[in-house]
Copies of this chain bind each other. A is one copy, B any other.
């Protein structure tokens, strides 16, 4: 039921995802079955092919996350996290209330032991080819150096397993290339990262070179990351609305990435964009699958043991 175009976009995306899944991979939809039936019928898709958990309760985009999660256990997000906690599903994704998704993940499957704070990661397109990730983009407005150090570990494991990049290069968002540049947080974090053998630290990454092939994982606090993310989305929209398209800018189309994983919790959880289309929903399901089949969570748990 999450997202501006639910339930249509979600059901259409689920149908598309179903067709891409292998027989032993099962899809479970949670939401208002009566509303979904219409879409199934329109698509000539048998509703029996996808398991459906019926509920009519929803969490609105403007609701207070913690309040909503505690007071609405029967919302689609509430039920999703109960099922995830009980092991009835192996991953949970929604294009609904971002805060509720984050709080729900932390309350239900909980943070991986040893992880200080989970982070939300987002794709960063590269001008030349491929893409990297940036984290955190909004779960933690204030971060400490040891939290950012852990984001480097989480991001490396994600990129290594999901993007198939060996020995990923980790960069730190900063306002100068040299060590000693930046605010107190980034200066302290740079010192920690420089000495770490937990990942392959390649130094500071400035706003001007974040789209160039300097790093596979860009670490930042959630405040800076969120400002960057929204600014990049705005530039993408402004160019697209002006009729401008090119290979690089096309990579900013979030639909192809599906959503933003929460890294550092005990199960694969993905937050979809509020304006998720069927294509975005489908790719969110397929990204969930990759997070399951690569055993990413087990690898994260092992890294923080």
Asked if B231 and A175 make an inter-chain contact with CB atoms under 8 angstroms apart, the answer reads no
A207 within 8 A of B: yes
Of B207, B235, B242, the residue contacting A246 (CB under 8 A) is: B242
Contacts of A182 in B (CB 8 A): 141, 223
Chain B: minimal CB distance from A90 (Å): 31
Interface residues of A, dominant DSSP? helix
Bound-state CA distance A101–B97 (Å) is: 46
Closest to A220 in B: B227
Interface residue count for A (Cβ, 8 Å)? 37
Which residues of chain B are within 8 angstroms of A244 by Cβ–Cβ distance? 239, 242, 244, 246
A206–B223 CA distance with the chains assembled, in angstroms = 11
Query: Nearest chain-B residue to A140 (Cβ)?
Result: B183
CA distance A227 to B183 in the complex (A): 12
Q: Mark A210-227, 1 if CB is under 8 A from B, else 0.
A: 110000000001111011
Please give me the residue from chain B that is nearest to A223 by CB atom.
B183
* CB-CB nearest in chain B for A209: B234
Q: How far is the CA of A206 from the CA of B242 in the complex (A)?
A: 22
Partner of A127, one of B184, B221, B238, B246: B238
| Residue among A142, A186, A227, A229 having the largest count of chain B Cβ atoms under 10 Å | A227
Give 6 nearest A-B pairs by CB, closest first: A207-B230, A207-B231, A141-B183, A175-B226, A208-B230, A244-B244
A-side interface residues toward B, CB under 8 Å?
127, 138, 141-142, 173, 175, 182-184, 186, 206-211, 221-224, 226-235, 238-239, 242, 244, 246, 248-249
